[in-house]
A and B are shown apart, each in its own frame.
Chain A
């Protein structure tokens, strides 16, 4: 039997939202949808415009570019932000590995969502910096 924490409790344990108060977390849970994907289902599609920002609440996903796996994502990770910030379609597929639960922040809402929550934006920036450092170290 599936027993899961409430959506607000799950958000509270997600590092991206760690600085939000309980009422702020409730507002996020009320405003945005949770979506669950079947094993093998695509969440982001390489080259297809208009996609959203996703935060993984439970489960895992694979990043795939031109049918080659390039990374794996797990609980608390987010994806879709690069496509939104650069205003282009995603450069990779994201595919659910087992049942995957995400919070979805639709593309048109992302800018306002971040501007209204600067601490979330800072945490996102830190995560991006860490990713970039990882890539630079790997290249050197």
Chain B
């Protein structure tokens, strides 16, 4: 499976934004299909800082794609809703929900970036 759709988690049967998050199994597929290689390694990104935003999306895609392949692990995301901030991924492990925020940047502000 080279494309995975991560669907939003439904809370208390409330209707949420139904947009799935698109995850690729490998960012090299994107580079080949669009003829647009985007490196992920920080050292390679310094050559073209404009690609940093796309690299951030690809980091989220790679993380989601890897987890979607994991057996016995349910993966969702939570889109922004009103004043409730978005959560990149929600992992259902048994009866536990583990929120995961993927930040692909040099400096992470835990107060600001992990608000959700």
Q: Do A and B bind each other?
A: no
| Chain A contact residues, CB within 8 Å of chain B | none
